[in-house]
Structure formats: structure tokens, C-alpha cells
Amino acid sequence: MSRLHGTKDFWIGALRVEGPAFAAAVAEAPPETPVLSCPGWTVADLTLHLGGFYHWISSFAGSGVTSAPAERPERGEPGPGVTPLQYWQQGYDRLMAVLEGVDPEASAWNWAPQPKKAGFWPRRAAHETAVHRWDAQLAIAAGEPVEAKLAADGVSEVLDTWLPAGKRRTPGQWHGVVQLVAADAAQQWYLRLRGEGVALLDTDTILDHDEHRARALVSGTASDLLLALWGRVSFDTLDVTGDRSLLDGLRVS
């Protein structure tokens, strides 16, 4: 089973669905409502965080510059009289205009060990929005799973981007192969943990002589896999066999 290879149109299509769904959930919740999946945050905090993320991406993604931008703010700062949701909407509209007009092959900075191309950002924005949409819906007791194809690509993003960039939730040393299976998306992934490093294995083209037998196998829906990797749900919600301690080396934040 091969991994999906998303496109700009795929990710922008996801943003067109996930963005309004996020806004609808936020509109139902009082701003001070706790976001249970983001301890210490309220719905207002979550909305300003995502809105600030959109404004930040928009400031450089279409500039053709590969030097690092100003550091991303944890929370955006709306102007006087602007509500968190209005600020988010301004950011969303700006982001969509930038991403729809950008050439994915154009130069653009990113923080990952990947080519500095603008195509990185539609994907990153789509998955950030999908996970935070789930957060916002959970705050109103209405969490819906992430669509299977999008969630499967989100799993791939964790494995091919976040973990290789060293963005684990908890530093540590893990050794062994983990197999992840998303039956609803007809996809599976093999990941070798090598101390602080990782390697995403393509089982169709393995040429080395290392042991590839998985020490841990995790299976479930693509959405549950994605949410577990992001620490939104426990791996106990999935079917796990083998060495569960390896799973701590897969979480990102």
C-alpha cells in the first residue's frame, strides 16, 4: 500500500472544508470555553493561535524568499475592536488568496529538511487547520474525524516532515521499526527509530540488510492515527501490538 502524494489543489480543497468547519465550531462556543485537547487554552486562545498562524504564513509564503521570517507568534494579536473570530477570518481569507496564487515550485522558506518550496505551506496549513478544527469541535462536544485521505496525508506529514525535523514532543532514544496501518485509507507506513533519528521506509525499495520486522504495530482509522501522533487521543484508542514504549517516540506537538 503506497502513501498518498497530495497536491496543491488537494490541500486547498481541504482548507475550504476545514476552515469553515473550524469557524462554525468557534461561533458556537463562548470565547472562554476550555479546549480540552489543548490544556490551558480557551476557544479564544485557539482561534488567535490559528489566525496568527495564517497571517504568519501569508507574510512570506508567496515572497520567493528562502531566508527565515520573523518567529511565529503563539497567538495572533487582533486590532482594537476585532474579535478573535474576526481576526481568524481575516487571516483565513488572506491565506487562501496567497496559497491559491502561489506556484508550489516557487522558492519559500520552511523549517523542515526539505526543498525550500512554496508547496510546503498548503499542506502544512491544511493539516494545522484540520487538527485544530477537531480541537474546536471537541470543545463543543461535537468532534468529527478528519477525512480519511487528508488524515492519511497528515500521518505522512508527521513521519516525513515533523519527526525528521526533530520536532518530537519529548526528546529521547528509541530503537526499532514501527508499522502504522490505516485500513480505511488503504495505507501503511514503516518507520525505523534510530535513537534521536528516524527513517521512513519504502518497503518496495529496501536495499539494506537491517532487520525490518516491526517491533510495534499500530492499526486503526487514519484519523485516529493522526490524532494519536498529535497527542489528541491515546494510542489506547487504536489496536496496538508489540513494544508500546516505541510509540512515545512518534508523538509531535
Q: Do residues 51 and 90 touch, judged by C-beta distance below 8 A?
A: yes
pLDDT over threshold 70, residue 212: no
Q: Which domains does the chain have, with CATH numbers?
A: 8-139 (1.20.120.450), 148-249 (3.30.1050.10)
pLDDT band per the 50, 70, 90 thresholds, residue 5: low
pLDDT band per the 50, 70, 90 thresholds, residue 4: low
Going by DSSP bridges, is the β-strand pair 187-195/197-201 parallel, antiparallel, or unpaired? antiparallel
pLDDT tens digits, one per residue of 80-105: 999 999 999 999 999 999 999 999 99
Q: Do residues 120 and 109 touch, judged by C-beta distance below 8 A?
A: no
pLDDT tens digits, one per residue of 25-77: 999 999 999 999 999 999 999 999 999 999 999 999 999 999 999 999 899 99
Which residues are CB-contacts of 42 (< 8 A; sequence separation ≥ 6)? 31, 32, 33, 34, 35
User: What is the pLDDT, as a whole number, of residue 89?
Assistant: 98
Q: Report how far residue 180's alpha carbon sits from residue 174's, in angstroms, rounded to the nearest whole number.
A: 16
pLDDT tens digits, one per residue of 163-205: 999 999 988 899 999 999 999 999 999 999 998 889 988 755 5
pLDDT band per the 50, 70, 90 thresholds, residue 213: confident
3-state SS class at 7: coil
Going by DSSP bridges, is the β-strand pair 216-220/174-182 parallel, antiparallel, or unpaired? parallel
